[in-house]
Amino acid sequence: NNPDVVGAILGFSSIVISSPESISMVSEAASAGKYVMVFKAQGLSKKHRSFLKNYQDKGYIYLTEAGCLADRVKEIWKNRPPIAIPQDNLKVAQALSKIL
């Protein structure tokens, strides 16, 4: 597995569609500064549901039913709303600077 493949895919993408099972994939896609569509799925843990709701509430991702993805992509692409990007790295750096 080439570690640069995911970064290259994200770099060349304008809109990323992700399944909800991988918190790291969703957060990596959101951190790439792209529109991120995550389709809803059954059987997710409370942790996953909470994470996805938090990211949706902050505008980092668009959580939608799988059957509505095409319409949501068209809507996002047409309206091109501002892209919200998580600043988690900045928060971690600030917290570390306080204790170091």
Q: What is the SS3 assignment for the chain?
A: CCCCHHHHHHHHCCEEEECCCCHHHHHHHHHCCCEEEEECCCCCCHHHHHHHHHHHHCCCCEEECHHHHHHHHHHHHHHCCCCCCCCHHHHHHHHHHHHC
pLDDT in tens, 33-46: 999 999 999 999 99
CATH of the domain at 25: 3.50.50
* pLDDT given for residue 96 in this prediction: 72
Q: What's the number of domains the chain is made of? A: 1
Structure tokens that stand for 51 in this block: 């994470």
* pLDDT given for residue 91 in this prediction: 67
Look up the domain containing 91 and give its range. Answer: 5-99
Judge if pTM exceeds 0.85. no
pLDDT in tens, 50-69: 999 999 999 999 999 999 99
What radius of gyration do the chain's Cα atoms show? 15
